Structure formats: C-alpha cells, structure tokens
Chain A
Amino acid sequence: MLIGHQPKDFLLAVSGLTVSFDGFKAVNDLSFYVEDNEIRVIIGPNGAGKTTVLDLICGKTKATSGSIQFRGQELTKLRENEIVQAGVGRKFQTPSVFEDLTVFENLEISFPRGRTVFGSLTFQRDAAVKERVEEVAEMIFLKDRLDTYADQLSHGQKQWLEIGMLLIQDPDLLMLDEPVAGMSVSERAKTAELLNRIIKGRSVLVIEHDMKFVEDIAHKVTVLHQGQILSEGTMEHVKNDPKVIEVYLGH
C-alpha cells in the first residue's frame, strides 16, 4: 500500500484502484493524481474503463481494492451523497434532469442548502437562492426559460441545465462525462465556451472524444486502455506517444 507516500497538495489522489466485475477487471491497478485547478481529460478507446473511473470516484460503483483520496478524505468509504457534500460533482453522459420540474426548480434542488429531510421541509426560497439560480441560469443560456418544464428543453439545453445544476453545487472537483456528445455544431461551440468559463477556480475531470475540444481545454491528458494508464502528459506528448498511436490507429 502506498497510502501516506503521496505529497499532500493533490486534490485527488487515486492509487492502486481496481474494480472487477465477475473477474473482468474494468479498472486495473490505476493510479493518477489531479492537482488544484487542473483540467484533466481522460481519453481512450471504447471499453477502456473511462466512465467506470468516474463511477468509482463518485461512489456509484464500489471499488474492489485501492484508494481514492480527496483532500485527504477517503472517498471509497463514503456514500454518494456524502461524496457530493465533500465537494465532488458529477455529470452523467446522458442528460439527467428532472423533467417534471421547471428549470428554476431543477437548479434550486442542487443549491447546497437544506439537504436533510427536515432541512428541505424548512427550506426557504430566499433572495440568495433566487439570485444564485438566476446567475447560473444566465451562464447556461437558460435565463428566460426559468419557468419552462425541463421536458420541453432540447437535448443540448438539458445538457446545459445539468451542467448548471453542478455549477450551483459549486464542487471543488467537477467530473464531466462527454459533455458535448450528441450536440449540434452551434451547441458544441456554446458548450465549449461555457465549460471554459466554469472550469476556472476548480479542478475538472473530463471524458471526451472530441479531440479539438480536448486540445482546447486540457492541461494534462490521461490515456486509458483496458483499465490501465497507457500514457499521461500534455496533449503534445500523448499525441506523439507510439503506444497511443498503436492503440488508436494500430487495428
């Protein structure tokens, strides 16, 4: 076990992380570190275990072995909602918003206050909440749709709404699973602009296939292959790594 050896200034320290489903190791002895304010993009072919890594960090999947330290706190022992409260936000691949609620209500639910049963019974929609919701709604291009029910939004707008719901949580680590997938060209451009704005002041872990987009935002790129790290470094370094070229173009 390597725990205790790592320098303390990493925001997220994943070490020796393994998960196996019926013997199949989707993630195999994976270690990587994310610093404060770093934007890390995970790329890799289908089935490389990218989404599983995010699932493990946010608690959706339980690790078989290994450790995930977030600000010195062990995440593998926490429940999903405790991980969120520790400061980790997760956006899913398919937009998951509450379609029977309005845009305002969707954002309000993510506002980090009154998260217990009795807290939510006594929750007041005060000026601070309204102000923050309106501020975020403006950022995600939905300012004039606050009273619209989410089921009437387009696919792209739902993606933005979910990003907005994460923003309002104000996480220290934001995890995005293919944020521009399935978007039209114009939506894609707007999303890139949105992401570039919101990633300031926090660390971001992104899974993305769009290489242009990756090049634009990534500080560091991690290439996953068969549950293990194939290569890690700057985009330039990764692009020229013969192992990466082999995996992406070799067959």
Chain B
Amino acid sequence: MIINSRFFNRSELIGFLTLALLLFVILPLSLDIFRLNLVAKYLTYAFVGIGLVLCWGYGGILSLGQGVFFGLGGYCMAMYLKLEASSVANTKIQSTPGIPDFMDWNQLTQLPFFWKPFHSFPITLVAIILVPGIFAFIIGAAMFKRRVGGVYFAIITQAIAAIMTILIVGQQGYTGGINGITDLRTLHGWDIRTDHAKFILYFVEVVLLFACIIAAQFIRLTKLGRILVAMREQEDRVRFSGYSVANFKIFAFCAAAIFAAIGGAMFTLEVGFMSPSFVGIVPSIEMVIYTAVGGRMSIFGAVWGSLLVNFAKTSLSESFPQLWLFGLGALFIAVVLAFPNGLSGIWQDYVQPHIDRLLASRKAKPGNGFSVADGAPAE
C-alpha cells in the first residue's frame, strides 16, 4: 500500500520549483521596475486565488465576495500608511492638522476611535489578519449554522460585497469615499515610493506568497483537507460521520478571507493606494475568474491564473480597451464549459502524461545517473 507522506509529490515539487525560479530569479532579472511592480500587483490576487482554491475548489463554497476581505486587509494597511503620512508637520495647512486629508475635507475634527489603533504598526499587522478573519467568521457562522449553502451563499457574499462598496463610498469622512485612501508615503519611516522600495516589496510579497502556498498545502494534506473534499460531495455523510459540517465550512471561509486580506495589504503597499473599486462585485468576480482559469483545484494553478489573466488584461486593455471585458467574460465561459479544472487541468491531462512518459523512458535506460536518484523515493 502506498501512502504518500511527502509534503509535495513529484509534479507538485516541479510546480513549486518552477514557480520559485520564475518569481525569485527570472522575473526580477528580466523585467524593469515598472513591469516588476505590475507583476507584484498581479500576484496580490494570487493570495485571493489560493484562498479560493481551499474554500471553493476543495470545500465547494463559492464566495463571490472575496473583494471584501481583500479590501479589509488593504484598508487596514492603507490607514496605517495614511496616518503616518498625515503627521502634524505634513498637514499643517488643514483646519485640523494631524488627521488624514479626506477627513479634514469632510469636516471631521478628530480621528474616529476605530482608526486610532492604526497608529501602531504591530496592531495594524494583527488587524490585517484579525479584522477579515472575524468578519468572515461572523458571516460563516450566521450562514453555515443555518445550512445556507451553494448558490444562496454565493449570492449573499455578492450582496455583502455590494453593501461594503456602498458603505465605503457613502462614509467619505471615515473611509475616503470613492477615491479611497491615497497619497501613501512611508511604512514605518521607510519610503515605499522609490524604485528600490518597490524592488524590496516585490520580494517580501513573493516570500509571503510562498508562505501562503505552503500553509495552504499543509491544510490540504491534513485530514481537514480531505474532509473539505468529502463535504463538497456528500455533506450528509460527513455530518453522519460525526463532524459538524458548519464548523469546517467556517474554517475554510475564514482561511480564504485571511489569505485574501494578506493579498489586499500587499496590494496597498505595491500600488500605493486602496479604493472601493477593489472591494465590490466586479473585482470579486474577477478574482473568482483568475482562480477558475488557473484551476480551482490547484494552488499553483491559482497563482498562474492570476498572473496570466492579469497580464493579458494589461496588454489587451492597452490595445483594445473596449474589447477586454468581453474577452474576460468569454474566457470565463470557455473555462467553465470546456475546462472545468482550468489551466492546471489542461496541464495534468495533456502535458503531464508526456513528461511522465519521458521520465519513464529515461529511467528505463540502464546506467543513467538519474535512474537511481529517481527510483529511490518512489518506494
């Protein structure tokens, strides 16, 4: 009996190393800082994608409101940066110096209490995880304990995304409104607008991305990962095997929210602002599309999907601005109809067998140095 106890199987290891090589070496060496910063921006969606793989691909819980968590993470980070940029010295022309400019424009004379903790960097970092995590927990507990699932859950998350946008736009004085939180300058005194800072931030993000990939892979390989798959297929059987299905759904939804929030916080740092246009229904659905195109059952697929669709989005929308959205819609329909497992599914069905055959034929030749090394861990 073969039970794979290794953390990555061979094809996953190849995927991991390829991605590491691309993100750590090839892209930083071959792209100028402007393009590298764009890649960094694309990769922030990969965090959301990894969360969706767990929650949607494995757990079968489709959330059309991941933008909410992306936004919560982003806004937490943005407010920290904004408060740092709004020192009394920088804002002395305002009627109330020392508060963010948009608050001053909206006749606020005092920083609202809920933004006060964001003066502290450690608290901000904790908030980036906790605020979306707790919010997801509340939504999850309210929905899953009542056995709301499937399409109904997707619609509710979409409604929450819409509400969130309306709230942010409507409460200008507290949130910066439709413009979002802009004019961010330094992180703990370190200027994030320079090319050098962008270069460093790119690597910080890639390291975080790999940490998230490993965390997601860990979850996937535990019994919890298998229960998610089981739940997607036969919810009742899981329930009658003694598990509280709602708790497992809440866990998957919270994990996805936290991954999305880390992506959102990195987005703020990479792009230098946060606005409601990354929170609402449209960005939330786009995030699902990136994951679907990459392959909702594959953690690496989600990263590739985010990179490739966004790359296509940038290049196509530069040349055909009107056509792009139709293209994205068509892409989604094509993936759902023809390739439900996305790019990673295509890879596994069409490319992987060739590679395996190639490796097998090499292994068959005697005297090949690889044969021993490859044969040993196969048990």
Contacts and interface: CB of A to CB of B under 8 A. Distances in A.
Interface residues of A, number: 37
Contacts of A101: 226, 229-230
Given A58-B240, A117-B248, A108 B223 contact: yes
Given A109-B226, A120-B223, A120-B248, 8 more contacts: A81-B239, A84-B240, A92-B236, A98-B233, A100-B229, A108-B223, A109-B241, A122-B222
Nearest to B58: A100
B1 interface: yes
Contacts of B2: 147
A96 B234 contact: yes
A98 B224 contact: no
Given A116-B247, A117-B248, A80 B240 contact: yes
> Top 10 A-B pairs ranked by shortest CB distance?
A84-B242, A123-B223, A98-B230, A120-B224, A120-B223, A96-B237, A80-B239, A117-B251, A96-B234, A110-B241
B346 to A, nearest CB: 19
A146 B248 CA distance: 26
A123 B223 CA distance: 6
What is the predominant secondary structure among interface residues of chain B facing chain A?
helix
A169 B241 contact: yes
B229 A104 contact: no
Given A120-B222, A147-B2, A85 B242 contact: yes
Query: How many B residues touch the partner, as a band?
Result: 20 to 34
B229 A98 contact: yes
A114 B229 contact: no
26 contacts: A60-B236, A84-B241, A96-B234, A96-B237, A98-B230, A98-B234, A98-B237, A99-B233, A100-B232, A101-B229, A101-B230, A108-B223, A109-B223, A109-B226, A109-B227, A110-B241, A114-B223, A115-B243, A117-B247, A120-B248, A121-B223, A123-B223, A147-B1, A162-B237, A165-B237, A165-B241
A99 B226 CA distance: 12
A157 to B, nearest CB: 16
Given A60-B236, A96-B236, A123-B223, A169 B242 contact: yes
A81 B3 CA distance: 28
A97 B234 contact: yes
Interface string B98-141: 00000000000000000000000000000000000000000000
Given A100-B229, A101-B229, A146-B1, A81 B242 contact: yes
Interface in A70-129: 79-81, 84-85, 89-90, 92, 96-101, 104-106, 108-110, 112, 114-117, 120-123, 125
A121 B224 contact: yes
